[in-house]
Amino acid sequence: MSSSVRLVSECFIKPLHPIEDSKQSCYLTSWDIAMSSMHYIQKGLLFKKPTISPNNQQDFIEKLLEKLKHSFSHALFHFYPLSGRLVTHKTQDPPSYTIFVDCSNDNTRARFIYATLDATIYDIHKAINQDAPPVDDPPIVDSLFDLDRAINHDGHTMPLLSIQVTELGDGVFIGCSMNHCIGDGTSFWNFFNIWSEIYQAQAKDHDVLISHQPFHNRWFLEGYGPLINLPFKHFNEFTSRFEAVPKLKEKFFHFSAESIAKLKAKANKESNTNEISSFQSLSAFVWRSVTCARRLKHDQKTSCKLAINNRSRIKPPLPQEYFGNSVDVVSTETTVGELLENDLGWAAWKVHTLVVNHDDREVREMLKKWLESPVVYQLGRHFDPFSVVMSSSPRFNMYGNEFGMGKAVAVLSGYANKFDGNVTAYEGFEGGGSMDLAVSLLPNAMSALESDEDFMNAVSVVNFSNLL
The pLDDT tens digits of the residues spanning 412-447 come to 999 888 899 999 999 999 999 999 999 999 999 999
What are the tens digits of pLDDT across the range 87-145? 999 887 788 899 999 999 887 899 999 999 999 998 888 777 654 333 334 478 999 99
Please tell me which residue, 205 or 95, carries the higher pLDDT value: 95
Per-residue confidence (pLDDT) for residue 137, from 0 to 100: 41
pLDDT, mean of residues 52-71: 89
Please give the order of strands across the beta sheet that includes 327-335: 249-255, 435-441, 422-427, 387-392, 301-309, 327-335
Indicate if the pLDDT at residue 83 is higher than 60.
yes
pLDDT, mean of residues 363-370: 96
Please tell me which residue, 415 or 12, carries the higher pLDDT value: 12
Whole-number average pLDDT of the chain: 91
Q: What CATH number labels 249-467? A: 3.30.559.10
Indicate if the pLDDT at residue 379 is higher than 90.
no
The pTM for the full model equals: 0.94
Which bin fits 442, alpha (ψ -120 to 50), beta or left (φ > 0)? Answer: beta
Per-residue confidence (pLDDT) for residue 51, from 0 to 100: 84
Per-residue confidence (pLDDT) for residue 168, from 0 to 100: 95
Which bin fits 325, alpha (ψ -120 to 50), beta or left (φ > 0)? Answer: beta
pLDDT, mean of residues 214-223: 95
Per-residue confidence (pLDDT) for residue 132, from 0 to 100: 39
Indicate if the pLDDT at residue 374 is higher than 60.
yes
Indicate if the pLDDT at residue 62 is higher than 70.
yes
The answer to whether 169 and 119 have CB atoms below 8 angstroms apart is: yes
Residue of 222, 431, 197 lying closest to 315 (CA atoms): 222
> Is 5-237 in CATH node 3.40.640.10?
no
| CATH 3.30.559.10 location in the chain | 5-237, 249-467
